[in-house]
A and B are shown apart, each in its own frame.
Chain A
């Protein structure tokens, strides 16, 4: 599977995402430059964490206008897999690939800490190797991760099972205390209706090695590899003689 990680000016966790794909997963990783339009034939695009273009305007508001994003939007509309982590999630919302918006944390401070998130949906290529209701420990690190959307959108997200991750306490309850940033419905990550675009505030790429404190994030990457493999098998089967 070929992965592309976009580098915007101000991206920080692009190195980390590339490292995980290349060194931890052992998959093929390429770097994608914001000024280019070529996605280099990747199967999955990662929009990484960081502060694209400094995020001096709204987070992600500038990045959505970069040349590479035109290709990413096209890729997503064609069913391509897009994973937006932290700033990447913000960019996806700004680009209209995901509904809602991410605003300043309720506590007004940047927060870096490990949080517990409950896995709500396994019917997505990003979580197909996980178990529904399982609790993952993954770090967050952001100042603007409070997920908001209007009531209608929120209902639709819940009814369509688009809420993939929710902040919870150790026993799995989505309480106010377990919510690190004030996100509505404790939302930590959502997919689009087609379920090929996933945005989340926690950083799965920072939870992939025991040495660094945990491997729970790896399950999301492994899900993508599995989903891609199954997809490829289906495509091969579709092309096989006799069909």
Chain B
């Protein structure tokens, strides 16, 4: 093979600066039988980066269950797709944009939303709902307010402008994220099940077309340098690697792509996200087993004198690469011209399994596609639990004093930013546009109707990273089952998940162990519930100055309601209704919000979880909702039963409703009230339905306890708690705005 002209060979030092190890670089030289030139080095470094190659995670991810009778597309495409009947399917995925959001919160979060939206409409799906999972540092940290403001405004700025509702999500605050926040964005779209588009380049000679925004110098090396390496304190210096979003152009791109997809013009389509033109062309050729040649002189540019290296690695937003059917070029051009967007043929599909890049008549890069995709490195990194793993799990309950004033403790918990109302956040998001939002932010799960059917989907995103820090296996299992429980509480059957696995540096054995344990937990929970993983994303190197974030395997669950008008919400509906707890309360306080807030302790084993019991509890709840027995259903989560009861009283859109509860149990009172035992659901129902619900529970061997009834203007849990709803409402509603206003 002739050495491409136009470029000088590079050195190991330059390779190291591009994040390639000595061994990786040696392997490249060996396969190529020459040293790569500078342009090729850029291409190799991004494709072999952790972000694009999943080199530390690929082998473990293979263990996840990805199939099911409804799965039309599993992991490996731009998004996963699940059949929902009536000739329709839902495409969805979650993705991280952590480092960019820490460096430049508004644009980082905004382009995170833009990226995940493209992943979904690339599949031919019309995006109808966004969620996000946000992790910030403690409010004691001076940068937290700035980051919260910027990230929330950025998510709103992009989602609101493009007209896709942000219908739910979570916001979590923990000092473990002080120097490395997490922004995970999720999009779900609806697609006709026979019109799913994939990113698999086929048909030698078919034109490769570039559509959307012009290419600039923004975001160069976002994937390799920003997303695939630890952080140092000098975040400012990395601002040029953050992309800048333009939701208006993306709106045009979205409409143009969906319009074009109505016609028979597209063979394959992929978003130019991380690693831009490089990864989109290489991955499409990789999936198709073909080659691809592109001519950089044809790429629409917004800056002059851009080098091949810059054009190939730019992460300018709002761009797509299309392999069109030969002869359909004008159809593509016509649709994009209608929406005032660029569309130009920049190359074609070849049969030589090579990526060839031309610039001013010369070949500036020539690399085997396989070397950039399947043959990219995959490591089995050493994994070992941290030295203090077992010590951290120890918790001597008899050394923990009982609270003096349970009212006070309840109000303290309701004032915790992790438990308090997130209205300050979600009122900045348009959660109504597209007229499908049946249940918006603020209940266990959002519910979105599917127009043209009687169906709806329920969506929830969850992860308790304190559980994961103390036991990543159990924590990840709980993330899966809790997200399932949340969609069940909305009346939906869990369909499938997408996961966003946020971890520290995988080259450290303790981190790799957290990762492996989390994947094992997700697998076991998914297998038990019969729920496949259809898409996902791994974000490593969430570390700053050597401090890793708590392991955070975020799970987004999608559930299906056959009849959306039978959806359920979490708040009490009427005075006089009975209140029932399904599931057992154990004497456990480990890893709880109560322990952290009231005793300053982050330790102990996370709550015990039995997947069979969990499944039964969820089944009983689903049947009860399907039979129309219950009027509210709420997952018991952080803060335990007392917090769950308080939420049922005050979080509805109507007037607040009190409750009178008799609690008894063989466990200590603080565990009874604030313990976070899993597999528990709080329901309210008309008294006449109690018998039937008890039958359902007994048949499934699910503990059933009549706790009391909806009554009055106070929450009374005798003999421990007696608080007025105004006081509860004040603590819960003002916690976030008060902290943000400082």
* Cβ-defined contact, A9 with B435, below 8 A: no
A16, B433: Cα distance in complex, Å: 7
Any chain A CB within 8 A of the CB of B389? no
A213, B248: Cα distance in complex, Å: 29
Stretch at the interface among A47-55, A88-96, A184-192, A228-236: A47-55
* Cβ-defined contact, B247 with A13, below 8 A: no
* Cβ-defined contact, A212 with B248, below 8 A: no
* Cβ-defined contact, A19 with B162, below 8 A: no
Any chain B CB within 8 A of the CB of A182? no
A11, B427: Cα distance in complex, Å: 21
* Cβ-defined contact, B248 with A54, below 8 A: yes
Any chain A CB within 8 A of the CB of B726? no
Any chain B CB within 8 A of the CB of A67? no
Interface size class of B (residues with CB under 8 A): 20 to 34
* Cβ-defined contact, A111 with B427, below 8 A: yes
Any chain A CB within 8 A of the CB of B428? yes
* Cβ-defined contact, B248 with A56, below 8 A: yes
With a CB–CB cut-off of 8 A, which chain B residues contact A10? 161, 248, 251-252
State the Cβ distance, A39 to closest chain B Cβ, in Å: 19
* Cβ-defined contact, B252 with A13, below 8 A: no
Q: Mark B331-375, 1 if CB is under 8 A from A, else 0.
A: 000000001100000000000000000000000000000000000
With a CB–CB cut-off of 8 A, which chain A residues contact B432? 112, 139, 141, 203, 206, 212
State the Cβ distance, B321 to closest chain A Cβ, in Å: 22
With a CB–CB cut-off of 8 A, which chain B residues contact A16? 433-435
Any chain B CB within 8 A of the CB of A15? yes
Central interface residue in A9, A20, A113, by most chain B CB within 10 Å = A9
* Cβ-defined contact, B248 with A51, below 8 A: yes
Contact of A113 among B162, B163, B427, B435 (CB under 8 A): B427
Any chain A CB within 8 A of the CB of B404? no
Any chain B CB within 8 A of the CB of A109? yes
With a CB–CB cut-off of 8 A, which chain A residues contact B248? 9-10, 51, 53-56
* Cβ-defined contact, B428 with A110, below 8 A: yes
A55, B248: Cα distance in complex, Å: 8
Any chain B CB within 8 A of the CB of A216? no
A9, B428: Cα distance in complex, Å: 23
* Cβ-defined contact, A50 with B163, below 8 A: yes
Given known contacts A9-B340, A51-B161, A110-B156, is B427 in contact with A15 (CB within 8 Å)? no
With a CB–CB cut-off of 8 A, which chain B residues contact A13? 163, 433
Contact of B653 among A9, A50, A203, A213 (CB under 8 A): A213
Instruction: Tell me which residues from 149 to 198 in chain B have a Cβ below 8 Å from any Cβ of chain A.
Output: 153, 156-157, 160-163
State the Cβ distance, B7 to closest chain A Cβ, in Å: 39
* Cβ-defined contact, A54 with B427, below 8 A: no
Question: What are 13 A-B pairs at a CB distance below 8 A?
Answer: A9-B252, A12-B162, A15-B434, A16-B435, A19-B435, A54-B246, A54-B249, A110-B153, A112-B429, A139-B432, A206-B435, A211-B449, A212-B437
Spell out A's residues near B (CB within 8 Å).
9-13, 15-16, 19-20, 49-51, 53-56, 109-114, 139, 141, 143, 203, 205-206, 209, 211-213
Spell out B's residues near A (CB within 8 Å).
153, 156-157, 160-163, 246-249, 251-252, 339-340, 426-438, 449, 451, 564-565, 653
